[in-house]
Structure 1
Amino acid sequence: MLDIPEWFKIAYTVLVLAFIVIYWPRHGPANFLWFSDIAFIGAVPAMWLESALLSGVLACMVLLPEVLWNVDYALRLVLRRRITGLTEYMFDPFIPRWLRAVSLFHVPLPLVLVWLVAAYGYPPESLLWSAACGALVLGLSRLLSSKEKNINWVFGPAMVQHRMPPAAYLLLLYLCFLLLVFVPTHLLLLRWFPG
């Protein structure tokens, strides 16, 4: 078991509180429905409670997308061209550089999530809870987000889609998250952190 020292818990909590204070007035509370924001913030209670289930659910929901975010960001820095669009906002000159720097929490987040799971374990029921939380988060994102913000892409991939009825699109999006993100991550975490 890899213990998480108290100094790290304190420093991480302070960073999360600073993130909330900075982002809330600029983006509103609905912005915290992004899966990555939920994981970043949720890691605080997971650490302090030393909760294997909460750590497992957070890792299951976002580990693969966070790794993809990091790959996209690194390639964009190196190649100077758009790759997937996940990190497009990090290069938007209309967003102040200091505000974009706040989003660099994505860089260490996968390592933090893996550390949590390594420290507290990965319960097999994490997938079930991830599936339930994912459905709730997508539903709330659709209800509380705007088409302009398009949190978790609930209105369409990158832009608002009009080909499918909204409920059918939301169900398809949920199934994509479940089958392409949650299940593969769950299988990887079970393999890496058995028992």
Structure 2
Amino acid sequence: MGMAQQRIPLWVKVAYTLMVLIIIPVYWYTLGVTNFLWFSDIALILMVPALWWENRLLASTMAVGVLLLELHWVADFISGANLTQVALYMFTDQEPWYIKLLSGIFHFALPPVIILMLLKYGYDKRAYPLQILIALMVIPFTYLVTGPDKNINWVYGFAEQQTNLAPHIYLALLLAGAILLVYTPSHFILKRLFQTH
């Protein structure tokens, strides 16, 4: 697509890309490479090519996977982490100040960028099965390469490590929960709100 035909402003692409290029090395050094297995971090990174290629499917897939969760993070942060405490680390000494600063910028920037892509290009309904496929790979892989100390993608439990279920049963329920409570509602909401392709 030529420059004259681009519908996402260049400054948005550049600013978002610079943000990601700052976040990646800082997170990698401070939190470790496995931190990028969080679905929100996957979306953060994949929205860079989605923006530059103006790729509707990629943006739609990230919307199905994380948009509702990101909006929930923002609401939890604004409430002072009084909703479900997903943003509680922002109000404790759990992470260094610069990680909290970058995390705040990242979680506030990602939803409007995703929504901008959906407004410009519409929603691609192929995103729903694609996000399920991604989750089928990411959830068990996260369990295999990480530990309960970080509990990335909650593969070891929610508030604390769960010990009541066998790991494979818990992971299957986690995946089913993601599909039923996040991906499916997101798919139908996005189909209703945006032009569908």
Q: TM-score, normalised by structure 2?
A: 0.92
Q: Give the deviation of 1:143 after TM superposition.
A: 1.3
Q: Paired residue for 2:77, among 62, 69, 73?
A: 73
After TM superposition, the structure 1 = structure 2 runs for residues 1-195 of structure 1, keeping only pairs within 5 Å, are 3-76=7-80, 82-104=82-104, 105-195=106-196
Which amino acid is the alignment partner of residue 134 of structure 1? A
Q: Give the deviation of 1:82 after TM superposition.
A: 3.6
SS at match of 1:170: helix
Cα deviation digits, residues 115-169 of structure 1 (max 9, x gap): 1122222111110101101111111211111110000000111211000000000
Cα deviation digits, residues 44-80 of structure 1 (max 9, x gap): 010111111100000000011111101100011xxxx
Distance 1:120 1:83 in 2: 33
Greater shift in the superposed pair: 112-121 or 12-21: 112-121
Instruction: Name structure 1 gaps, 5 residues minimum.
Output: none
Distance 2:125 2:60 in 1: 8
Distance 1:130 1:57 in 2: 6
Number of aligned residue pairs: 191
Instruction: Name structure 2 gaps, 5 residues minimum.
Output: 1-5
Aligned-residue sequence identity (percent) comes to 39
Distance 2:31 2:95 in 1: 12
Which amino acid is the alignment partner of residue 73 of structure 1? F
Q: Give the deviation of 1:10 after TM superposition.
A: 1.2
Say which structure, 1 or 2, has more relative contact order (CA 8 Å, 6+ apart).
Answer: 1
Cα deviation digits, residues 30-55 of structure 1 (max 9, x gap): 10011111111110010111111100
Tell me if the contact between 2:64 and 2:131 (Cα under 8 Å) persists in the aligned partners.
Answer: yes
Tell me if the contact between 2:8 and 2:54 (Cα under 8 Å) persists in the aligned partners.
Answer: no
Tell me if the contact between 1:141 and 1:151 (Cα under 8 Å) persists in the aligned partners.
Answer: yes
